[in-house]
Amino acid sequence: MNRRSYLSSIGIASGVLLAGSTTGDADSFTASSQTPSDSSNRIRTAGDLVRLSADEILALDGETVRRPFNPELGGGEAYDPDGLDGAEEYPHGGAVTRELATYVVSDADELETAAGDATAGEIIWVEGDAEVDMTGVSITLAGGVTLASDRGRDGSDGALLSQDENGFNAFISTGGDDVRLTGLRLSGPEHEYWDYEDKGIDSIYDVGITYGLLIDDTDDVEVDNCQFSGFTYAGIRVGMWGAYECEGVYIHHNEFVDNPSPALGYGINVYGGDPLIEYNYLDNNRRSIAGVGGDVPMNYTVRNNLFGPRTRLAPIDAHGGEVDDMDEPQAGVRMDIENNVVLSEKAAVSGAPQPAIVIRGVPRERATIRNNWFFTDRAPPFSADEGTGDDGGAIRQWTDQYTSITASNNVYGKFVLTEELGTAGTTWGPQQAHGNRDSN
């Protein structure tokens, strides 16, 4: 089986990876022996990308990094909501236009008024060239309301909702089911790396925490074609203190970039519910996706996403928390991590090697990790008598043994695109059901 056929067979090529438009042969994932003189055209296939050093990848802009992959990743110009079927049991709407809007706004006062008046079935449109100052502003969208702008349409960047100073606020909260955000940019004040001593503080709470969107005890929320950046807490928080389960949350075709604060600093933070997170571009966050541990109903499905080369810590995370009926901290209930590409190999600040996934306890049911491509070449040991520790490889667990994790058909390393992929023969501890092993 050739390289491309193999990747297709395990699902990577059909999800995130796509060959460059000019290379359709079986060797399209093979690195070219020559470097094109025009650097803007260097990246046409995944093979071109793996040929680069980590420093060269970090020097590329996000659009160039995404070029070998699905062009609709992260939303923007290539994204066509009418051409997307969506996902079963999750809400999905088509394109929203200004002509469909009930309210058209361009500043904070108008936005607050419209949000207070809008009812189910109505659309609030924020003009594409609007820059809305959200300082001291938090709006709540009633059930059934859509907030929209025109990101990626006819060259528009989409409306910008932003604030220049930290506070303790969410720009937008959901006040009922069936809310949608589409085509907007949300920006907090902290886009660059910083540490507590830079600001003379002792805690992230001393500087303030901001969210872009808080999904609070509501179901069937869709967020698509938006950009979230600069937030000290999170671009999106799903659930509030684990007290409520937010079902049917569909987060797709968004960018979560430049949320790298020294604590918190998440693209998406899951407190309670079962969100489906797919076709997003996530880069330069402290952690791109984090789940809260302990006795809360935390589940997530993370699939078909591209995680960029910059991260402060492991980009995919599940926290652990003590519970009465488990010997180990509970790290979520069920997590499905499938068909993602993770480009980061080390921490952008410390330079220390970082796993792609860290599970800080034991899932109550199971974490299933399959068909992913991790650029770090440190495959997990997955043995009964070897702890996960600092040498735990791309998948790390904060336990003495890997427990309640199933991994299969994952690719480790930038230069392993051959028919014999991964680490053949790695075995699982006897505590694992079905005797699964990472069979790539």
Residue 299's DSSP bridge partners are 334
Identify residue 395 by its one-letter amino acid code. I
Distance CA 158, CA 183 (A): 6
Identify residue 48 by its one-letter amino acid code. D
Strand order in the sheet with 366-370: 103-105, 123-126, 146-148, 180-182, 222-224, 250-252, 276-278, 299-303, 334-338, 366-370, 405-408
* Residue 260 pLDDT: 96
Distance CA 85, CA 265 (A): 32
Residue 187's DSSP bridge partners are 162, 229
Distance CA 296, CA 293 (A): 7
Measured between alpha carbons, how far is residue 323 from residues 68, 221, 223, 273, 295 in Å? 44, 29, 32, 18, 6
Domains of the chain: 3-66 (no CATH), 81-435 (2.160.20)
Answer whether 0.75 is exceeded by the pTM.
yes
- The pLDDT tens digits for 260-318 are 999 999 999 999 899 999 999 999 999 999 999 999 889 999 999 999 999 999 999 99
- The pLDDT tens digits for 186-222 are 999 999 999 999 999 999 999 999 999 999 899 999 9
Name the 3-class secondary structure at 315: coil
- Of 325, 299, 151, 310, give the one whose Cα is nearest residue 239: 299
Contact assessment for residue 183 and residue 192, using Cβ atoms and an 8 Å cutoff:
no
Segments in the chain below pLDDT 70:
1-15, 17-42, 242-243, 381-392, 415-440
* Residue 133 pLDDT: 97
* Residue 434 pLDDT: 24
- CB neighbours of 185 closer than 8 A, spacing ≥ 6? 149, 151, 157, 158, 159, 160, 161, 162, 226, 227, 229
Distance CA 13, CA 3 (A): 10
As given in the structure block, the two tokens for residue 419 are 């028919």
Distance CA 400, CA 141 (A): 45
Q: How far apart are the first and last CA of the chain?
A: 13
* Residue 390 pLDDT: 55
Strand order in the sheet with 234-238: 139-141, 169-174, 210-215, 234-238, 266-270, 287-291, 316-318, 357-359, 395-397
Name the 3-class secondary structure at 129: coil
Across 279-372, the runs of DSSP E, i.e. the strands, are 281-285, 287-291, 299-303, 306-307, 316-318, 334-338, 341-342, 357-359, 366-370
- Of 300, 328, 330, 327, give the one whose Cα is nearest residue 316: 300
Write the DSSP string, 198-217.
HHT-SSHHHH--EEEEEE-S
Strand order in the sheet with 185-187: 131-133, 160-162, 185-187, 227-229, 255-259, 281-285, 306-307, 341-342, 373-374, 411-412
Largest Cα–Cα distance in the chain? Answer: 63
